[in-house]
Amino acid sequence: MVLKRHPQPALRPFVKTLWVMDQTSQERPATADREHVLPSGHMHLVFRLSDHRIRLYRDVLDPSGHTFGCAVIGGPRAGFYVKDVSEPASSVGALLQPGAARALFGAPADELAGRHFPLDDLWGQSAAWARERLLEEQYPERRLDVIESLLVPRLPKVRGLHPAVALALQRFTETADVHEVVSETGFSHRRFIALFREAVGLTPKLYCRLRRFQRVLARVAAAQPASWVDLAMAAGYSDQSHFNREFLEFAGVTPGEYRRISPVFPHHIAVRRTLE
């Protein structure tokens, strides 16, 4: 069971989606014990409510991985990571907007990019207390209410993205021409890149590449009948080989493998660890 909803208006500049997931009452087929989690370009906040902790791996063959505890921040990234899914889990989390890192965690996004951190590194004992509050609630809707109530008090009194970053994020919905957008901001290229990376955690060029990749995943998830060539062209790739290389870089599987696996959730690809 997965439940999602948009946050209340006060949180929307910083939180894109709130979600709760509970697999503990479901029987899971023993087809895979790990999964590729594909990059979205956004930060994630996750509270694991079931007993086993969040474990991530360097790759699908990594025998031991690394345990992060039960409350984790995932920085923005441009590549997949490998997560343990060998046991059914119950979790609550938030998909965060650009600019949320500084507002909610007191750190620039580029310092968190490409990595995972235990939440108590940034929230201290408040991280454990927040998880306890979530555990007190049994109903998914109430857990979404609780995570909202935990985030709202952390909002800054003066909020909002730097105007140049806000302009660029809006313009990147229309164009991937970074030079054109930088010119519109009035800042030097170097200064704009620094502002954008601090707020978003990625360079503008990499952010636009991820947006293009997301457009392909959205069309596949919507079951729109099209060949990979048509999907690549519609998303703005220069040719099929360019698309194939970038898909493999971001997803860790080829487009053909992705379609054969046919993941239930577009950003989560079940994989089996094989040592042969």
pLDDT for res 91: 94
Q: Which phi and psi angles does 107 have, rounded to 5°? A: -135, 145
pLDDT for res 103: 87
Place of tokens 């790759």: 59
Q: Is residue 122 part of a domain?
A: yes
Supply angle C-alpha 22, 26, 28, rounded to 5: 110
Q: Is residue 107 part of a domain?
A: yes
Number of domains in the chain: 1
Place of tokens 């620039």: 108
Instruction: Please list the ranges in the chain whose pLDDT falls under 50.
Output: 275-276
Q: Is residue 76 part of a domain?
A: yes
pLDDT for res 158: 53
Q: Is residue 89 part of a domain?
A: yes
Query: Does the predicted TM-score (pTM) go above 0.75?
Result: yes
Q: Is residue 206 part of a domain?
A: no
Q: Is residue 214 part of a domain?
A: no
CATH number of 144's domain: 2.60.120
Q: CB burial class (10 A; 0-12, 13-18, 19+) of residue 9? A: exposed
CA distance 211 to 175: 11
Place of tokens 């040719």: 239
Q: Which two tokens stand for residue 226?
A: 């099209």
Q: Which residues contact 58 (CB under 8 A, 6 or more apart)?
A: 65, 82
Q: CB burial class (10 A; 0-12, 13-18, 19+) of residue 182? A: buried
**Range of 131's domain?**
2-154
Write the Ramachandran bin of 223: left for phi over 0, alpha for psi from -120 to 50, otherwise beta.
Answer: left
pLDDT for res 235: 82
Q: Is residue 72 part of a domain?
A: yes
CA distance 229 to 159: 42
Supply angle C-alpha 9, 210, 92, rounded to 5: 45
Q: Is residue 14 part of a domain?
A: yes
Contact 123, 117 (CB under 8 A): no
pLDDT for res 275: 45
